[in-house]
Amino acid sequence: MSGLKEEPRIGVFVCRCGNNIGGVVDVSGIVEYAKTLPNVVHAEENSYTCSSEGLSRIKEAIVRQSLNRVVVASCTPRTHEPLFRAICEEAGLNRYLLEMANIREHCSWVHIHEPEKATETAKEIVRMAVAKVRFLEPLKEPEIEITPSALIIGAGVSGLTAALSLSEQGFDVYVVEKEAEAGGLLTNFHTLFPSGQDASDFIESIIEAVKGRRNITLLASTVVREVRGYLGNFEVVAQQINQREVRLKVGVMIVATGAVPLESKGLYGYGEFEDVVTQLGFEQLLKGGLPENLEKIVMIQCAGAREEKGVTYCSRICCNVALKNALYVKEKKPDIDIYILYRDIEAYGRGYVDYYQKAQERGVKFIRYTMEKPPSVTEGQNGKPRVEVFSPTIGREIDIKCDLVVLSTSLIQHQAGRDLSQTLKVALGSDNFFLEAHPKLRPVEFAQEGIFLCGTAHGPKDVAESMTQALAAASKASIPMAKGTVKTEAVKAVVDEELCVGCGACVAVCPYSAIEWLSFGQPKVVEASCMGCGLCAAECPMGAMQLRHYRDDQIVPMVDSLFESKRATVLGEEPSVVCFACRWCAYAAADTAGVMRLQYPCSVRLILIPCSGRVDAVHILTAFARGAEGVMVAGCLRDGCHYIDGNIKAERRVDAMKKALEVMGIEGERVEMFFISAGMPDRFVESVISFTDKISKLPRLRRASQEGGASSV
């Protein structure tokens, strides 16, 4: 059971947010309404609750009124929750005894033309927040000890740069490399751009530096096989080429596994004709000196990249590499004919536009082609390649008989990288490169704490960018090690021994293997590994496994409260829809919809959960039992769930619910699963509108009494 032992004393602070909220809803009316809710002993309005004045008013009220729960009815928790939590803590109240009611992004901004309905909607949202806060409990953020050593996976330029940085800061570093030699891609490169420095010399000097450091251990021909544990205490088992096992205990890990160029047999004759090579192949060729009888070279850009399916992205560096190589060749032998067939030239960054101009000046011929009509490479007479390309600029085919075709293929993720993502249980993006926690706020780390990311493992980038990212990753990785101990999120899974029956369903469903299954069936949550998704709680058939702060007995009262009083007449027409939205995507999309002032009907009430996989039969059935006409379960896009595949689990549960509902006489279509990414506010709005529309066409579900309360189903 949750909740404090003492009577809840709830303070509700309703924000005008200047005119953002106040301009649409009747804020004073909401304050008066809040006062009527049970356990609310204080309610007030503020112009800007997040201002220092607003914050100190909260602090004062907590102290003066002995508040032990706080509801801030204002903007989205995704922006200011940390701020309000901090002020609660300053006032002596545990930071987890705060709940926010989103009456801006989810109310005043999206129901601008219906102020009466918006006001009633806001009241319902506040009522739901008050219901939840009543049952919140104080939580302590667990502290974990950090082993001051790091594991870096991959000894290319990124991995080694990170290693040097961490070593300089005094930490022990282990670098594990699957090849026999360190260096990665650069060992095979010819020169770097724009400096023209020799690539192998460059990487050699870095390798020398690494070897010279006493606190870096470089393990070549070694592959990471198994990883257990959590931030501060990772247990790694790696396997060496002679089958020997190496066991390491580290505090943090950095993924720097790099990428490989696409080598696709049949792509423009690659693997079929001798004289078709990749840029990397060309670089290796050039290392041995420019071959003698080269008269004509054709370079094809975007080879196997920027396609509709497969590699859809731009590989970023290939244009610069092609220009670099073309210029080098021209310098050595000015009368070699070089053609560069391109779709777009991406010459970004310092000095690269000059590169491009220089290349044109030196006589490198640029021919544009389109994706619809790519060039073709066939075997010409005398066995040399023949390239035909349609140039839309001049409107006809160009036929080039050449000595060598160089394909600028994209960098792609390699199998070892894919395997590693399974071993570490970290996410890959839809382009198959490793997915960072957040592109702006957390660009060099994974969602899991303690694992960082840099280099081309994250996506194609040049050497300078890779090294910069490596330094950033090392810097972030050093923080927990430097601190010695770290506080982690308090939102963790917890098991009620009395209800548990030892079935192990939670153990199996946890995407992070954060639950140990003891000898006689007891599940033990390893808090430091727990990511707080709640899939275990949703799976547990007995309701024994719960997610702190998102317990069933904290979520269900929100649903209850929505239907516990008679609906305001003005809202009577709108079908009542409950939407469980995941914090990372769907809820964020709803927020953005608010920011963009997209308008939608006042039918839906959002309930914030960490992952759509947290939602299960309890919540859906309760919603219908209490009076909901429809339930939406909204999570991330199919292969973009931040908890790996919580959304797929949610979809399966929704499917099972549909069938159970049909047997109960409720249309299965009243519950639906939605996949919405944070960047899709329009999809969120469309989903709400079309779902509400569909629900309103169905006959109203029976209600036991018009006064509200449980309806019999």
Partner 1 sequence: MIKKSMEMPKQRVEERIRNFNEVALGYSEDQAVMEASRCLQCPKPLCVAGCPVEVDIPSFVRDIKERRFDEAIGKVREKNSLPAITGRVCPQEEQCQKTCVMGKTGEPISIGRLERFVADHELQRGVKVPPKPRPNGRGVAVVGSGPAGLTAAADLAKLGYEVTVFEALHEAGGVLMYGIPEFRLPKRIVQSEVDYVKNLGVTVKTDSLIGKLYTVEELFEKGFEAVFIGTGAGLPSFLGVPRENLCGVYSANEFLIRVNLMRAYRFPEYDTPVWVGRKVAVIGAGNVAMDSARCALRLGAEEVWIVYRRSRQEAPARLEEMENAEEEGVKFKFLTNPIGFLGDKYGWVCGMECISMRLGEPDESGRRRPIPIEGSEFTMDVDTVVVAVGQSPNPMISRTTKGLQTTRWGSVVVEEGTGKTSIEGVYAGGDIVSGAATVISAMGSGKNAARAIHEYLSNKKVR
Partner 2 sequence: MYEIASKKELAPDIKLLEVYAEQIAKKVKPGHFVIVRVDEKGERIPINPASCDVNEGTISIAFHEVGKTTMKLGSLNRGDRIANLVGPLGNAAELGKYGRVLCVGGGVMAAPLHFQATSLRDAGNELITVIGARTKEQVILKEEMRRISSELFIVTDDGSEGYSNLDFLEGLLRKGRIDRVVAIGPLVLMREVAELTRPYRIKTMVNLNPIMVDGTGMCGACRVTVGGEMRFACTDGPEFDGHLVDFEELMVRRRMYVSREKIAVLFYKGLGGCT
* Residues within the interface to partner 2 (CB under 8 A): 497-498, 500-505, 508, 517-522, 524, 539-543, 552-553, 556-557, 560, 616-618, 621-622, 625, 652-653, 656-657, 660, 710, 713
Q: Which is nearer to partner 2, 479 or 656 (CB)?
A: 656
Smallest distance, Å, CB 518 to partner 2?
A: 4
User: Could you say whether residue 659 binds partner 1 (CB under 8 A)?
Assistant: yes
The single-letter DSSP state of residue 409 is E
Q: Which stretch binds partner 1 (CB under 8 A): 49-57, 283-291, 485-493, 652-660?
A: 652-660
Q: Which is nearer to partner 1, 560 or 651 (CB)?
A: 651
Q: Which is nearer to partner 2, 103 or 526 (CB)?
A: 526
DSSP three-state, residue 372: coil
DSSP three-state, residue 508: helix
User: Could you say whether residue 660 binds partner 1 (CB under 8 A)?
Assistant: yes
Q: Which is nearer to partner 1, 524 or 652 (CB)?
A: 652
Site for partner 1 in 477-516 (CB under 8 A): 508-509
Q: Which is nearer to partner 1, 441 or 663 (CB)?
A: 663
What's the CA gap between 126 and 101, in Å, rounded?
6
Q: Which is nearer to partner 2, 388 or 496 (CB)?
A: 496
Contact 174, 150 (CB under 8 A): yes
Q: Which stretch binds partner 1 (CB under 8 A): 313-321, 629-637, 653-661, 691-699?
A: 653-661
Q: Which is nearer to partner 1, 445 or 645 (CB)?
A: 645
DSSP three-state, residue 287: helix
Q: Which is nearer to partner 2, 215 or 711 (CB)?
A: 711
Beta-strand (E) ranges in 574-649? 577-582, 604-609, 630-635
Residues 6+ apart with CB under 8 A from 356: 323, 345, 347
What's the CA gap between 320 and 585, in Å, rounded?
35
Q: Identify what 374 binds: partner 2, partner 1, none; CB under 5 to 8 Å per kind.
A: none
What's the CA gap between 616 and 633, in Å, rounded?
10
Smallest distance, Å, CB 504 to partner 2?
A: 6
What's the CA gap between 592 and 682, in Å, rounded?
9
Q: Identify what 658 binds: partner 2, partner 1, none; CB under 5 to 8 Å per kind.
A: partner 1
Q: Identify what 663 binds: partner 1, partner 2, none; CB under 5 to 8 Å per kind.
A: partner 1
What's the CA gap between 16 and 12, in Å, rounded?
13
Q: Identify what 539 binds: partner 1, partner 2, none; CB under 5 to 8 Å per kind.
A: partner 2
Smallest distance, Å, CB 553 to partner 2?
A: 5
Q: Which is nearer to partner 1, 115 or 668 (CB)?
A: 668
What's the CA gap between 265 and 283, in Å, rounded?
19
276-278 sheet: strands from edge to edge: 276-278, 404-409, 296-303, 337-342, 365-368
Q: Which of 134, 316, 614, 658 binds partner 1 (CB under 8 A)?
A: 658
Alpha helices in 14-114 (DSSP H): 27-36, 52-64, 77-90
Smallest distance, Å, CB 659 to partner 1?
A: 6
Backbone φ/ψ region at 414: left (φ over 0), alpha (ψ -120 to 50), beta: beta
Distance of CA 245 to the CA centre of its chain: 33
Tokens 């920027």 belong to which residue?
306
What's the CA gap between 521 and 542, in Å, rounded?
14
Q: Identify what 618 binds: partner 1, partner 2, none; CB under 5 to 8 Å per kind.
A: partner 2
Q: Supply 288's token pair.
A: 């041995």
What's the CA gap between 434 and 257, in Å, rounded?
10
Q: Identify what 64 binds: partner 1, partner 2, none; CB under 5 to 8 Å per kind.
A: none
Q: Identify what 398 binds: partner 2, partner 1, none; CB under 5 to 8 Å per kind.
A: none
What's the CA gap between 344 and 632, in Å, rounded?
43
Q: Identify what 520 binds: partner 2, partner 1, none; CB under 5 to 8 Å per kind.
A: partner 2
Smallest distance, Å, CB 621 to partner 1?
A: 10
What's the CA gap between 639 and 677, in Å, rounded?
10
What's the CA gap between 283 and 368, in Å, rounded?
24
Given the DSSP bridges, would you call strands 365-368 and 451-453 parallel, antiparallel or unpaired? Answer: unpaired
User: Could you say whether residue 619 binds partner 1 (CB under 8 A)?
Assistant: no
What's the CA gap between 307 and 313, in Å, rounded?
7
Q: Which is nearer to partner 2, 305 or 625 (CB)?
A: 625
Site for partner 1 in 666-705 (CB under 8 A): 668
Smallest distance, Å, CB 658 to partner 1?
A: 7
What's the CA gap between 416 and 258, in Å, rounded?
10
Q: Which stretch binds partner 1 (CB under 8 A): 289-297, 557-565, 635-643, 658-666?
A: 658-666
Q: Which is nearer to partner 1, 449 or 651 (CB)?
A: 651
Smallest distance, Å, CB 681 to partner 1?
A: 29
Residue ranges in contact with partner 1 by CB under 8 A? 508-509, 655, 658-660, 663-664, 668
